[in-house]
A and B are shown apart, each in its own frame.
Chain A
Amino acid sequence: MQKQWTAVIRPKNSLLDLKLKEVWKYRDLIRLFVARDFKTKYKQTVLGPLWFIIQPLFTTVIYNFVFGNIAGLSTDGMPGFLFYMAGNVPWLYFSTCITNTSNTFVSNAGVFGKVYFPRLTTPISTVITAIINFLIQFAMFLIFWVYFLFKGAPIHINWIAALTPVFVIQMAILGMGFGIIISSLTTKYRDLQVLVSFGVSLWMYATPVIYASSSLSPKMYNLLMLNPMSPIIEMMRYGWLGSGKISFLFWGISWITTLIVLFLGIIIFNRVEKTFMDTV
């Protein structure tokens, strides 16, 4: 007679064992983590939840001023403000995903060292928090979008806009994939923590957030589009504003990159998860 054990603890996990079932069992924890993040983030601040929209609003205004007015970069004939916001809002969301998941292990070391719960719950709840943030900011974008539409700006919404949820999910996967790779490696190498914040801000310039990809030479364009974020931002902008051009080929490549990153991330995360307390 073989006894059924609830759990068997062995030295190593199998590489691809995600334990998603266990994560599902802990869904209440994910929900509470998200609630905690929202409740505590802007406690004891004067502006409170207004901060959710102040950040994208102000950066957009600054971009519009610096890159639109001073540098005079092309916005494909779109109103600069809307053009920058259409790139900036998803980019902010993506960079939040990546920077916040990238310190999963180090910033939660205290809790992880005392109690076991599926570690994947923390990056997942971080990403969910980011998605909710994004929805608020995207709503703000829509308000401006309607405003500019009534003002008669040359905006043409098309069916690509309906893919927005897919883009949001893809950015979440990509951001979390990179985030958990970095967080797994930072348990040993703290260098990466430093790298993340400025790496992500540099990455923005390799993505058509503040400029239109149509202003590049074909060679540069192809290179730019290999950046998995470029097709996403381009397509979102195309869908909502009708500016720029889209390429499903590059989007396909972007998806492949995304899945590879996620796959790698899971493997590394699984390896580190069990013993990171000894190295962190």
Chain B
Amino acid sequence: MENEKDIAIRIKDLKKQYRLGVIGGGTLQGDIQSWWARVRGKDDPNLKIGKKVYGKNETFMALDGIDLTVYKGERLGIIGHNGAGKSTLLKLLSRVTAPTEGEICIDGRISSMLEVGTGFNGELTGRENIYLNGAILGMTTAEVDSKIEQIIEFSECRQFIDTPVKRYSSGMYVKLAFAVAAHLDSEILVMDEVLAVGDMAFQQKCLSKMSDVSTTEGRTVLYVSHNMNTIRQLCDRCIVLDHGKIIFNGDVEEAIDIYLGMVKASQKIISLESSNRSKRCLDGIKIKSLEIQGHDDWRISVGSKLKFVLTIKATKDLSGIGFRMRLACADDTSVSVLLARKLIDCSAGDEISIPLEADISQIVPGMYYLTPSLYVVNDFGGHSFFDHINHAVSIQVENVLGFNENMEWNARYWGNVKLPEIVDLRKEAN
């Protein structure tokens, strides 16, 4: 067993349960009615007809048995898809809410930056807010006194420090807030994507500050982000959360691979019959499967077109159904949409396979999600979904030798689309 002394945080069988739907009747009267009905063994008058009394199926485990040990001086990254439980874990660690079961033992002061600028008051000046925010985060006035010069220096707001912060630009506001948080004296720092602030230079400054904090001062950092670049830069260990459980714990690169590949990437045919669908979809036609052509899996090289077969199953007679796919990055920012309007006419019982080709040759290398939907446009220009499967397919666009003349494509600042190169009109004229 490792030396217990070096443990900063030990989490044992941590669970957090949330109740789905509306909590309580919302009014005292409603709750008393429900309670009185239960006492008499009658049906709850406030429940919708056909609904069972709050059962197990109406709860949701945001965290489902987390065991984790973090050692002192470690920089632990926490990644996972939306709803995997990352933020809940941080909330429990920072004591914003209490766990349903389990125990967290912490050695050292913990300070969390779930959101920078918490408790800032617009009427107060920058300096006054540094003191207030510092105190909220657990510093004493004396501690802030000894650091105020560093904080002001770091924030790059010296000129405005005695101006009320409501006059600040949003960038200045965030810089000031981060400066306070970065100068906390706590042994453990918990951060939730706060680095996505400020301009590029300031982001880099924050990142290097964070790794300084850990390497030179030996403090422990827990960092949640969807941005794999910052995770790579900052962390030396990484856990992957999925549905409230830790599915991987270890090397950063491996963790990122697992996270990015968590969606079924390597099959040729992706069956979508049993996938989760948005509840607002109309009945009548559903996507059965998507099958890539000319490749063994959903992996194509940059510059090529995507050929695939769409198989649909109809239960009604319909015409003019459109098909489209939303293309999004791994962090769910949209890249674009691929449209095939008025593609399908079908009658009940049909199962149709349609070969399709989508030109995504201008998409730069990386991992993307495809969200296919079947829809119909109504007379008012709006549209209704027949089918919509979020992130049904993940597709890997692979780099090839010579792409962009071997200059690295910095997707973070350049975007994910490489438009045709600028034409030199002098050559055109000849």
Residues of A within 8 A of B (CB): 1, 3-12, 26, 28-29, 31-33, 35-36, 39-40, 43, 110-117, 188-192, 274-275, 277-279
CA distance A12 to B103 in the complex (A): 10
B107, A29: Cβ atoms closer than 8 Å: no
CA distance A46 to B142 in the complex (A): 35
Q: Which of A8, A36, A189 contacts B31 (CB 8 A)?
A: A189
Given contacts A3-B107, A275-B98, A278-B18, 6 further A-B pairs with CB under 8 A are: A9-B99, A26-B135, A36-B124, A40-B124, A114-B114, A117-B136
B106, A6: Cβ atoms closer than 8 Å: yes
A190, B124: Cβ atoms closer than 8 Å: no
CB distance from A14 to the nearest CB of B (A): 13
B140 within 8 A of A: yes
Q: Which of B24, B105, B115 contacts A188 (CB 8 A)?
A: B24
CB within 8 Å for A115 and B118 given contacts A9-B98, A11-B99, A190-B27: yes
26 contacts between A and B (CB under 8 A): A1-B4, A3-B4, A3-B5, A3-B7, A3-B107, A5-B105, A6-B109, A7-B95, A8-B103, A8-B106, A9-B98, A9-B105, A10-B98, A12-B98, A28-B135, A29-B136, A32-B131, A35-B128, A36-B121, A40-B121, A115-B137, A116-B95, A116-B96, A116-B112, A189-B31, A278-B23
CB distance from A15 to the nearest CB of B (A): 14
**A-contact bits for B1-19, CB 8 A (1 contact / 0 none):** 0001101000000000010
B108 within 8 A of A: yes
Residues of B within 8 A of A (CB): 4-5, 7, 18, 23-24, 26-29, 31, 91-110, 112, 114-115, 118-119, 121, 123-124, 128, 131-132, 135-141
CA distance A274 to B91 in the complex (A): 11
- Please name the 4 residue pairs, one residue from A and one from B, whose CB atoms are nearest each other, closest first: A274-B98, A116-B95, A29-B135, A9-B104
Contacts of A115 in B (CB 8 A): 94, 96, 112, 114, 118-119, 136-137
Contacts of A39 in B (CB 8 A): 123-124, 128
CB within 8 Å for A11 and B107 given contacts A32-B131, A190-B26, A279-B23: no
CA distance A3 to B103 in the complex (A): 15
CB distance from A157 to the nearest CB of B (A): 40
Contacts of B124 in A (CB 8 A): 36, 39-40
A28, B99: Cβ atoms closer than 8 Å: no
A8, B104: Cβ atoms closer than 8 Å: yes
CB distance from A142 to the nearest CB of B (A): 31
CB distance from B85 to the nearest CB of A (A): 14
CA distance A160 to B92 in the complex (A): 51
How many A-B contacts at CB < 8 Å in the complex?
Answer: 118
Contacts of B110 in A (CB 8 A): 7
Q: Which of A7, A113, A191, A275 contacts B106 (CB 8 A)?
A: A7
Q: Which residue of A lies closest to B116 (CB)?
A: A114
CA distance A9 to B91 in the complex (A): 12
Q: Which residue of A lies closest to B120 (CB)?
A: A111
CA distance A110 to B115 in the complex (A): 10
A275, B112: Cβ atoms closer than 8 Å: no
CB distance from B141 to the nearest CB of A (A): 5
A11, B108: Cβ atoms closer than 8 Å: no
Q: Which residue of B lies closest to A41 (CB)?
A: B123
- Name, among A32, A35, A113, the residue most crowded by chain B CB atoms within 10 Å (CB to CB): A32
CA distance A150 to B105 in the complex (A): 66
CA distance A209 to B5 in the complex (A): 62
- Name, among B123, B131, B136, B138, the residue most crowded by chain A CB atoms within 10 Å (CB to CB): B136
CA distance A256 to B427 in the complex (A): 96
CB distance from B19 to the nearest CB of A (A): 8
CA distance A27 to B92 in the complex (A): 24
A111, B27: Cβ atoms closer than 8 Å: no
CB distance from B366 to the nearest CB of A (A): 32
Contacts of A1 in B (CB 8 A): 4
B97, A275: Cβ atoms closer than 8 Å: yes
Q: Which residue of B lies closest to A111 (CB)?
A: B119
CA distance A278 to B18 in the complex (A): 8
Contacts of A114 in B (CB 8 A): 96, 112, 114-115, 118
B97, A277: Cβ atoms closer than 8 Å: yes
A277, B101: Cβ atoms closer than 8 Å: no
Q: Which residue of B lies closest to A7 (CB)?
A: B106
Contacts of B115 in A (CB 8 A): 114
Q: Which residue of B lies closest to A29 (CB)?
A: B135
Contacts of A4 in B (CB 8 A): 107
Q: Which residue of B lies closest to A279 (CB)?
A: B23
CB distance from A17 to the nearest CB of B (A): 13
A32, B121: Cβ atoms closer than 8 Å: no
CB distance from B63 to the nearest CB of A (A): 12
CB distance from B163 to the nearest CB of A (A): 13
CA distance A29 to B132 in the complex (A): 7
Contacts of B137 in A (CB 8 A): 115, 117
B105, A277: Cβ atoms closer than 8 Å: no
- Name, among B5, B26, B100, B119, the residue most crowded by chain A CB atoms within 10 Å (CB to CB): B119
Contacts of A8 in B (CB 8 A): 103-106
Q: Which residue of A lies closest to B103 (CB)?
A: A10
B141, A40: Cβ atoms closer than 8 Å: no
Contacts of A6 in B (CB 8 A): 106-109
CB distance from B219 to the nearest CB of A (A): 14
Q: Which of A29, A192, A277 contacts B96 (CB 8 A)?
A: A277
CA distance A116 to B108 in the complex (A): 15
Contacts of B5 in A (CB 8 A): 3
